[in-house]
Amino acid sequence: MICCINDARYFFIMNAIIKNILSKLKKNDLGFRLILAIVFWISLTLFLHFKQVRLDVLDLHSISNKYVVSQINFDFPDDEATILSKQKKIENINSIYFIDAKQIKLKRINFENYLIDNPKWKNLASISYEKINDLVDRFEKMLIASRFSDSKTIKRMKNHKIDITNYIALNHENKKDFILPKGYFSIFAKKLENVPEETLNFMSNYFEKNDYRLTLDYLTLSNVKKLIEKNVAQKYSHISAGELIIGSNEKVTSKHLAIIQSMKAALAKNRNLFEPLTILGNMLMAFIFISLAVFYLKLEQPRILRSVKQLSLVFSILILTLLSAKVMELVILRSTSSLVEVIRYPIVVPFAALLFSILFNMRISLFFSTVLCIIIALSLAVEHSSFLTINLVTSLIVIVSTKCMRKRTQVFTVCAKCMLGVVPIILASSFIKNRFFHLNLVTNISSSIIFLLIIGIMVVGLLPVLETIFDVLTDITLMEYMDPNNELLRRITLEIPGSYQHSLVLGNLAEAAAQEIHANALFCRVATLYHDIGKLTNPNYFIENQGSGVNIHQLLTPQESAEVIIAHVTGGEMLAKKYRLPKQIIDIIKQHHGTTLVYYFYRKEME
């Protein structure tokens, strides 16, 4: 009995604790924010921990200004050795010949004429015209499909698992063209199965009397060589630790770059990622960055720390940026092409700068852009100075350019401005290396344009999603609600023109007042345009829409008139939800009449 009471008490205590935690989470209390911080801490730790090994990337065909020595024993894919091996394999493949189909068809016609002109063949046993015709068909197809080469070539083809069913070995010197020896028709005859010997002898005796000129088959020879080259495995060469890869003042070749990339892969494979101290160090580094962010938000943007939605939005943008950077790095480094040689200036941080500037403000965008530049430069296998310079400059251009952004298409205008800032940086970097013009200059500018274009597309695509999920009202969205073609706004102008004029005047007043106190003037103007949409239900009950007509309130009691006036607030709320207006505008509609009396009709009722 006592045990049951204790169990019940334990159950009620645990239930109360769980309910308390859930209630705190619902109230945007500390619990949920801690969960968000832990999730981001883990994400940032993983980003810092699983980083690629960085080595200085040399420009192809440039002159190296330093010695590069191997740091580890490794094998690299030696393309030169592979090409030599392929050439060695195919140089022993001699000519391949065939009999031209026109020759074969001509000989067949001659044979058919021979049968007509010499009917003695009918005296032979087991021979009929139908059998001979069928046999000639088979013989013709066999000759057309046959290929001729020396026995060594055919043997090599067999070793490379190339089909040699239709190949016949020739004991003849390779010439441009020559006559097929007579004795080979007995070989063809033996390949014809289930044919009487007498018939075969008759056929062979006739066809051996004819000459068949062999022609070089360049197409088949080319295909055979390609198949053999395809079967040759990639050759690897060994590099020992301490071995010189490239010397000072030596020209950089594609082989040098392949060796450096292979050494980088070997170093990455040799890293012990699961060493406890390494993991602890990355966790501590991630904690430092998060602490700095929290400290900044507490001083400059405390409202973000108090809102779970806004905090979630900040973490979402940061994680999306880090994820994009990591994907970009993996695509470049693991690409089979020479992307690592082409993309020297990856642009990532302006993506976050654009989102923070549009969804929040310039100050928070500047802070997180700077922090992201440092984090990504430390973690990615990029040239630190170039990456920091180009990403910081483009982020600053973004922050300055988005101050008055009112249309989504202006995102691409901002990206174009960034491009104007990128070109001088790339030129300056090239001049510092004492190079005026080279191919890498063109590829670097082209890759930067592609990066900025991708950023523009991603931002335009993600903005509506983030605005919807996190209930953010940007200037871009507000401008869309000011569009005269907006369905609800058109209804207001047509159905309640008096209320629309009233809203315009009130909007100008609200905008001017907001500017004086540094509030969101655009939001105030847009909200006033929609604050009276509830009047669409009963337009004529409001004096500004009655014109010179009868005042309906003269036919109503003061109480009924007050109820009609108050009803436009709840009616407006329902209409706003129907047209999916933002929550912030719905709040204005709900609150714009306050909680006081409809004083005019109250006084009238009292009188």
Q: What are phi and psi of 346, to 5 degrees?
A: -65, 135
CA 265 to chain centre: 23
Give the list of residues 6+ apart from residue 588 with CB closer than 8 angstroms, or none: 527, 528, 530, 531
pLDDT band of 174, cuts 50, 70, 90: very low
Mean pLDDT score of the chain, rounded to an integer? 81
Exposed e or buried b for every residue in 166-176, given b needs 16+ CB within 10 A? ebbbbeeeeee
In the chain, pLDDT over 70 holds for what percent of residues? 81
Q: Which of 7-16, 151-160, 309-318 has the lowest mean pLDDT?
A: 7-16
Q: How far apart are alpha carbons 526 and 314 in whole angstroms?
A: 26
User: Residue 74: which H helix or E strand, with range?
Assistant: strand 74-77
Q: What is the pLDDT of residues 257-306, one digit of tens each?
A: 777 777 777 776 776 667 788 889 889 999 999 999 999 999 998 999 88
Euclidean distance between the first and final Cα of the chain, in Å?
A: 73
Closest listed residue to residue 466, CA positions, set 361, 367, 355, 365: 355
Q: How far apart are alpha carbons 347 and 415 in whole angstroms?
A: 11
Amino acid in position 311: L
Amino acid in position 265: A
The pLDDT assigned to 381 comes to 74
Give the list of residues 6+ apart from residue 17 with CB closer than 8 angstroms, or none: none
402 within 8 A of 414, measured Cβ to Cβ: yes
CA 117 to chain centre: 75
397 within 8 A of 414, measured Cβ to Cβ: yes
Q: How far apart are alpha carbons 467 and 474 in whole angstroms?
A: 8
pLDDT band of 230, cuts 50, 70, 90: confident
pTM: 0.65
Quickly list DSSP for 100-144: -HHHHHHHHHHHHHHHHH-GGGGGSTT--HHHHHHHHHHHHHHHH
What's the count of helices (H) and strands (E) in the chain, helices before strands? 26, 9
Give the list of residues 6+ apart from residue 526 with CB closer than 8 angstroms, or none: 478, 481, 482, 507, 585
Q: What is the pLDDT of residues 502-545, one digit of tens each?
A: 889 998 999 999 999 988 899 999 999 998 888 888 887 777 77
pLDDT band of 336, cuts 50, 70, 90: very low
Torsion of CA 134, 139, 141, 142, to 10 degrees: 140
Q: Which of 137-141, 159-163, 175-179, 518-522 has the lowest mean pLDDT?
A: 175-179
Give the list of residues 6+ apart from residue 14 with CB closer than 8 angstroms, or none: none
Mean pLDDT of 177-196: 64
- Best mean pLDDT range from 123-132, 328-337, 456-465: 456-465
Q: Which of 77-81, 270-274, 369-373, 486-490 has the lowest mean pLDDT?
A: 270-274
The pLDDT assigned to 8 comes to 60
Q: How far apart are alpha carbons 23 and 14 in whole angstroms?
A: 14
Which bin fits 276, alpha (ψ -120 to 50), beta or left (φ > 0)?
A: alpha
Quickly list DSSP for 228-259: HHHHSPPPEEEE-TT-EEE-TTPBP-HHHHHH
Q: How far apart are alpha carbons 376 and 388 in whole angstroms?
A: 9
Check pLDDT > 60 for residue 25. no
Q: What is the pLDDT of residues 548-574, one digit of tens each?
A: 667 777 777 778 777 888 888 888 889
Q: Assign 55 to helix, strand or coil.
A: coil
Instruction: Indicate the angle between helix axes 439-469 and 308-333, nearest 10 degrees.
Output: 150
Q: Which of 33-47, 54-68, 237-251, 544-558 has the lowest mean pLDDT?
A: 54-68
The pLDDT assigned to 90 comes to 83
| Token code pair at residue 564 | 């009609």
The pLDDT assigned to 18 comes to 64
The pLDDT assigned to 176 comes to 46
Mean pLDDT of 315-344: 78
